Amino acid sequence: MNLLGANMKRYREYNSLTQKELADFLGCSREVISYYESGSRIPKIDVLNKISDIFGIELCELLEESSEMVEENLVLAFRKNDYSNEDFGEIASFKRIIKNYMKMERLITEYGL
Amino acid sequence: MDYKLDLNYKSSDFRSKNGIGFKDPIPFKSLLNKLNILCVFKPLSEEISGMVGQLESLKFMLINSNHSIGRQNFTIAHEFYHLYYDKNFKKAIVDYKNSNEGEEKKASTFASVLILPDGLIDLIPEKERGKNKITIQTLVKIEQYYQSSRTALLIRLKNMNFINDEYIEQNRNNVINQAKMLGYDCSLYFKGNENVVVGEYASIAKKLYDNEIISESNYIDYLIDVGMNSEEIDLNAFDE
């Protein structure tokens, strides 16, 4: 299992998602998720973007090696209960807004605005 | 201390800290802005009321825009409890319609008292203050003044001993027509706010763009992410 696949699996499990549920959200089959997680296939960039949105993390963090960093990011990972696929999409877009906001706040601080 | 009394104190404390009079309606959106809470309204399934969370110093909420405005207000007040008074708050909570245990129950009681303070009695004429005497005109007047759902108002009036369950059953329906016939704006009873984002999100994005820290396409992407469509985006809107 490569790092990307291992992180995908970890975030998916933390969000209490099955491979099938993640596959439904991404519009692919469960087997494809299994390939991604085992490292035998690499997701395209647009798929990675969708995956990072639903986990509420930055795309680059799917490649993050430090487990401490990964844990820190999990605070944004709302646990899935019985959301519909539509809810799932709306929640992903909400997480994206939060991610953007955090990113912008960091830039504001960094540039002293 | 009796938990209801404790929540009464907490709601008074919340009002006082935010400069809201003890009998005044809660100005929801301006309060969210003042408290710097990023609040996003999205259409969700009926059973999800909202979500609340905190990440570093950022407080954020997701509110179901498929619910009526009155119910959305209740959810926002409920989430205020989690953000400011819930000792078990764990950075991210999903609120479901029927969750009625522990801190969830406290959050709902807090919301009820916060939105509909004891001072609502001023809106009830003297002759209607006996048991089950409140008229429909008064119900509508109170819910409109405090921007509350009928359900929340009836439960609050029952807790204040003005009405009983039978009265609630008789007065929980036909709310929109009643308000309409009394000449009120009925938006309180309908869903709304879809894709509204309350907070400084767009202002911060603009500041970064104006200072050439983010590119034009970055800026546009940030606005699209909050539900603006590309035709609506006018980069010259601030030109003199």
A83 interface with B at CB cutoff 8 Å: yes
Percent of chain A exceeding pLDDT 90 equals: 27
Q: How confident is the model at residue A67 (pLDDT cuts 50, 70, 90)?
A: low
Considering chain B, tell me which residue range(s) the CATH 1.10.10 domain(s) occupy: 3-116+192-199
What's the Cα-to-Cα distance from B187 to each of B29, B65, B68, B197, rounded to whole Å?
Answer: 15, 13, 8, 19
Query: CB-CB: which of B44, B92, B204 is closest to A108?
Result: B204
CB contact at 8 A, B18 and B28: no
Question: How many angstroms away from the CA of A58 is the closest CA of chain B?
Answer: 14
Question: How many angstroms away from the CA of B133 is the closest CA of chain A?
Answer: 43
Name chain B contacts of A81, Cβ cutoff 8 Å.
94, 96
Per residue in A2-25, pLDDT (tens digit) is 888 998 998 888 877 889 988 988
Per residue in B44-92, pLDDT (tens digit) is 999 888 888 888 788 999 999 999 999 999 999 999 999 999 887 766 6
CB contact at 8 A, A21 and A28: no
Q: What is the pLDDT, as a whole number, of residue B161?
A: 95
Please give the DSSP secondary-structure letter assigned to residue B123. G
Q: Say what the pTM is.
A: 0.86
Whether complex ipTM tops 0.90: no
Task: Report the pLDDT averaged over residues B204-215.
Answer: 95
Query: CB-CB: which of B62, B204, B214 is closest to A94?
Result: B62
Is B56–A102 a contact, with Cβ atoms under 8 angstroms apart? yes
Q: What is the pLDDT, as a whole number, of residue A74?
A: 46
Q: What is the pLDDT, as a whole number, of residue B94?
A: 64
B3-116+192-199: what CATH class? mainly alpha
Could you tell me whether strands B48-55 and B92-96 are parallel, antiparallel, or unpaired per DSSP bridges? antiparallel
Which are the contacts of B58, defined by CB distance < 8 A and separation ≥ 6? A98, A101, A102, A105, B38
Q: What is the pLDDT, as a whole number, of residue B98?
A: 55
∠ CA B152-B154-B160, rounded to 5°: 105
Reference B85, options B113, B56, B44; nearest CA is B113
